[in-house]
Chains A and B, each alone.
Chain A
Amino acid sequence: MKKVSMVIVSLVMLTLLLAACSNNNEPVNTAKEPDSSAKDNTDNNAVTEPKEEVITIKYVIPGTEPNEWPAVKEAVNKKLLADGVNVQIEKEYIDWGAWEQKINLKLSTNEDFDMFHVMNDWIQLANYAGRGALKDISAEIEQYGPNLKKVIPESVWSSVNKEGKIYGVPAYWYEAAVDGSITINKHLLNKAGAATSFSNRQEMLDAMAQVNKNLDMKLNIPIRGGTAGPADIFQRTYDSYPFTVRDNIAYISGDGVVKNWVETDEFKQDAAWFRQAYEAKLIHPDVLTVKQEQVEQQIKSGQYVFTFGTGNKFVDVQKTYPDAKDEDFELFQFNPEKPSYRMVNAKNINVVAASSKHPAEAVKFLNWLYDNQDNYDLFMYGIEGTTYTKVGDKGLETVIDPKTNTPLYLQDDWMIGNLNFIRVDQSLLSATKQLYIENPEAKNFFAADFFFDPASVKAEMGNVQAVITSDVTPVYRGVLDYDKYIKSAQDKLKAAGIEKVIAEYQRQLDAYKATLK
Chain B
Amino acid sequence: MRITRRITLGTITVYTVLALFSIACLLPILLTLMVSFTDEDSIIRNGYSLFPEKFSLDGYRTIFVNWGLIFRGYLVSITVTVVGSILAVIITALAAYPMSNPNVKYRNAIALYFFITILFQGGLVPWYLMNIKLGLTNNIFALIVPTLMFSAFNMFLVKNFMESLPSALRESAYIDGVNDIRIAFQIYMPLCMPVLATVSLFYALNYWNDWYNAIMLVDNKQLYPMQYILFQLRSNIQMLEMLPTGANSGYTLPAESTKMATVILTIGPIVFLYPYLQRYFVKGLIVGSVKG
Contacts and interface: CB of A to CB of B under 8 A. Distances in A.
A424 B248 contact: yes
A292 B219 CA distance: 29
A121 interface: yes
Residue in B62, B129, B232, B245 with the greatest tally of chain A CB atoms within 10 Å: B245
B196 interface: no
Nearest to B236: A96
B141 interface: yes
Interface residues of chain A: helix, strand, loop or mixed (majority): mixed
A310 B132 CA distance: 45
A407 interface: yes
B215 A95 contact: yes
Contacts of B1: none
A299 interface: yes
A414 B247 CA distance: 7
A101 B212 CA distance: 11
Contacts of B245: 224, 296, 299-300, 307, 309-312, 432
A119 B242 contact: yes
Interface residue range, chain B: 35 or more
Contacts of A442: none
A15 interface: yes
Residue in B125, B241, B256 with the greatest tally of chain A CB atoms within 10 Å: B241
A22 B223 contact: yes
Contacts of B215: 95, 97-98, 102
Interface in A406-461: 406-407, 409-414, 417, 422-425, 428-429, 432-433, 435
A223 to B, nearest CB: 11
B239 A405 contact: no
Contact of A429 (B129, B139, B246): B246
B138 A26 contact: yes
A2 interface: no
Nearest to B125: A108
A214 B134 CA distance: 69
A410 B215 CA distance: 23
Given A11-B83, A95-B232, A105-B216, A414 B243 contact: yes
Nearest to B233: A64
A22 B138 contact: yes
B70 to A, nearest CB: 12
Interface in B59-113: 62, 65-66, 75-76, 79, 82-83, 86
A425 B248 contact: yes
B223 A18 contact: yes
Contacts of B22: none
Contacts of B216: 98, 101-102, 105
Interface string B212-245: 0001100110110000000110111111111111
Interface in A161-180: 174, 178-179
Residue in A15, A225, A409 with the greatest tally of chain B CB atoms within 10 Å: A15
Interface residues of A, number: 72
Nearest to B142: A22
A469 interface: no
Contact of B44 (A25, A26, A297): A297
Contacts of A411: 250
A23 interface: yes
Given A301-B44, A403-B66, A414-B247, A62 B139 contact: no
B128 interface: yes
Contacts of A403: 62, 65-66
B197 interface: no
Contacts of B249: 410, 412-414
Contacts of A311: 245-246
Residue in A104, A405, A423 with the greatest tally of chain B CB atoms within 10 Å: A405
A93 B239 CA distance: 14
Given A15-B140, A19-B139, A105-B216, A293 B251 contact: no
Contact of B244 (A119, A310, A422, A423): A310
B175 interface: no
A417 B248 contact: yes
Contacts of B234: 97
A293 B250 contact: no
Contacts of A12: 83
Interface string B41-70: 000100000000000000000100110000
Residue in B44, B62, B255 with the greatest tally of chain A CB atoms within 10 Å: B44
A309 B244 contact: yes
A312 B246 contact: yes
Contacts of B79: 11, 14-15, 18
Contacts of A25: 220, 222
B248 A64 contact: no
A469 to B, nearest CB: 14
B253 interface: yes
Residue in B62, B234, B248, B249 with the greatest tally of chain A CB atoms within 10 Å: B248
A75 B119 CA distance: 51
11 contacts: A22-B140, A95-B235, A97-B231, A97-B234, A109-B128, A296-B245, A403-B65, A404-B66, A411-B250, A412-B248, A414-B248
Given A101-B216, A405-B254, A412-B247, 4 more contacts: A18-B79, A64-B232, A412-B248, A433-B246
Interface of A: 8, 11-12, 14-15, 18-19, 21-23, 25-26, 29, 62-64, 66, 92, 95-98, 101-102, 104-105, 108-109, 119, 121-122, 174, 178-179, 224-225, 228, 292-293, 296-297, 299-301, 307, 309-313, 402-407, 409-414, 417, 422-425, 428-429, 432-433, 435
The 9 lowest CB-CB distance pairs between A and B, nearest first, are A97-B235, A432-B246, A403-B65, A410-B250, A413-B248, A96-B235, A225-B241, A18-B140, A108-B125
